[in-house]
């Protein structure tokens, strides 16, 4: 898989690894410069209502940077929106356009801009839907149109054409990436999100769960382990 620049736009810390970690590792290994844009501060990713937002946000940013490093991702941008409060409005679109124009990716990976009706509800977090929709709109038409968000021109970000979008879609994807050689890195990167995968009293055997899922997806494509996507040529 030969791509020079890839941008992963996700709602929360840990979303890139859960949804596409094996493919991200592979893209990076094959020479792509991969950048993450994490839209929210992750401050709702906990069970203790008394923990300070700023404390949890700092933990999650640290975990996200460590997880990115495991996969060969060098740069992580945090947009700092409040977790759980996202809508696909024009401000969010503009902020994502700024990132697209700054990093000039050929390939953007983001969330499905709608609800999954054939999977548990965890796959349809409202922030994921908002980021998916805002990113689709940012890719087309906003990023490529020099008349869209003209204040960005003054900031030094001219129009940029993205060629491809990948949407992780484990139930109905039809574009399969063989992650047999990078699944271990994906698991290692997920373990860096300690605040999420090792919650006291809510131990969850995520490793078993993820390996099983990727084995099942792999079966559809003749790979030992795979991640599946909808691949859209812009
Ligand atoms: Zn999420």
DSSP code of residue 219: H
Q: How confident is the model at residue 119 (pLDDT cuts 50, 70, 90)?
A: confident
Cα 161 to its chain centre, rounded Å, is 20
Give CA separation, 182 vs 63, 87, 99, 218, in Å. 19, 33, 27, 13
The answer to whether 45 and 53 are in contact (CB under 8 A) is no
Of all residues in the chain, the percent with pLDDT exceeding 90 is 87
Asked if 61 and 78 touch (Cβ cutoff 8 Å), the reply is: yes
Percent of the chain with pLDDT over 70: 97
Distance from residue 127's CA to the centre of ligand 1 (Å)? 7
How many A from CA of 79 to the centre of ligand 1?
A: 14
Does the pLDDT at position 51 exceed 70?
Answer: yes
The whole-number pLDDT of residue 202 equals 56
Sign of the dihedral defined by the CA atoms of residues 183, 8, 62, 11, in that order: negative
Q: How far apart are CA 2 and CA 98, in angstroms?
A: 24
Domain extent, residue 140, equals 5-233
In whole angstroms, give the CA distance from residue 231 to residue 234: 9
**Residue 195, pLDDT above cutoff 60:** yes
- Comparing 176 with 46, the larger pLDDT belongs to 176
Distance CA 41, CA 28 (A): 25
Distance 104 CA to ligand 1 centre (A): 24
Q: How many angstroms separate the alpha carbon of residue 103 from the centre of ligand 1?
A: 22
**pTM, two decimal places:** 0.96
Q: Write the CB contacts of 157 (distance below 8 Å, at least 6 apart in sequence).
A: 97, 98, 101, 102
The DSSP code for 199 is -
State the average pLDDT over residues 93-120: 95
pLDDT score, position 180: 98
Residue 172 belongs to domain with CATH number = 3.40.50.10320
Check residue 222 and give its pLDDT.
Answer: 97
Quick one: pLDDT at residue 21?
98
5 alpha carbon – ligand 1 mean position (Å): 23
DSSP assignment string, 52-83: -HHHHHHHHHHHHHHHHHHHT--EEEEEEEPT
Q: How far is the CA of 14 from the centre of ligand 1 (A)?
A: 7
pLDDT tens digits along 151-179 = 999 999 999 999 999 999 988 899 999 99
Instruction: With a cut of 90, say whether residue 15 has pLDDT above it.
Output: yes
227 has which bridge partners? 177
Residue 15 CA to ligand 1 centre (angstroms) = 5
Q: How far apart are CA 132 and CA 109, in angstroms?
A: 9
Please compute, for residue 43, the number of CA atoms within 13 A of its CA located in the half-sphere on the CB side: 20
- The model's confidence at residue 201, banded by pLDDT at 50, 70 and 90, is low
Rounded distance from Cα 146 to ligand 1 centre (Å): 31
Helix (H, G, I), strand (E, B), or coil: what is residue 13?
Answer: coil
Residue 200 clears pLDDT 80, i.e. is over it: no
Among 66-75, 87-96, 166-175, the range scoring the smallest mean pLDDT is 166-175
**84 C-alpha to ligand 1 centroid (Å):** 10
Residues with CB under 5 A from ligand 1 (ion): 11-12, 15
Per-residue pLDDT at 205 exceeds 80: no
In the predicted structure, residue 203 carries a pLDDT above the cut 60: no
What are the angstrom distances between the C-alpha of 71 and each of 22, 25, 33, 177, 187? Answer: 8, 5, 11, 15, 10
Domain total of the chain = 1
What is the pLDDT, as a whole number, of residue 232?
97
* Distance (Å) from CA 51 to ligand 1 centroid: 19
Quote the ligand 1 centre to 128 CA distance (angstroms).
6
């Amino acid at each position: 898989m030969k791509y020079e620049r890839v941008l992963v736009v996700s709602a929360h810390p840990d979303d890139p690894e859960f949804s596409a970690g094996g493919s991200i590792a592979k893209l990076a290994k094959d020479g792509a410069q991969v950048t993450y844009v994490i839209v929210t501060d992750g401050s709702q990713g906990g069970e203790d209502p008394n923990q300070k937002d700023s404390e949890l946000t700092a933990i999650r940013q640290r975990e996200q940077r460590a997880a990115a490093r495991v996969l060969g991702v060098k740069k992580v941008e945090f947009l700092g929106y409040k977790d759980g409060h996202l809508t696909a409005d024009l401000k969010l679109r503009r902020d994502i356009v700024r990132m697209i124009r700054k990093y000039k990716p050929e390939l953007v990976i983001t969330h499905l801009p709608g609800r999954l009706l054939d999977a548990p509800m965890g796959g349809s977090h409202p922030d994921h839907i908002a980021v998916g929709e805002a990113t689709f709109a940012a890719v087309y038409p906003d990023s490529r149109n020099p008349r869209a968000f003209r204040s960005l021109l003054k900031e030094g970000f001219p129009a940029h054409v993205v060629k491809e979008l990948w949407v992780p879609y484990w139930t109905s994807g039809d574009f399969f990436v063989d992650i047999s050689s990078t699944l271990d890195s994906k698991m290692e990167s997920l373990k860096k999100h300690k605040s999420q995968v090792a919650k006291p009293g809510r131990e969850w055997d995520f490793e078993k769960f993820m390996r099983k899922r990727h084995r099942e997806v792999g079966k559809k494509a003749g790979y030992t382990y795979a991640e599946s996507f909808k691949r859209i040529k812009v």
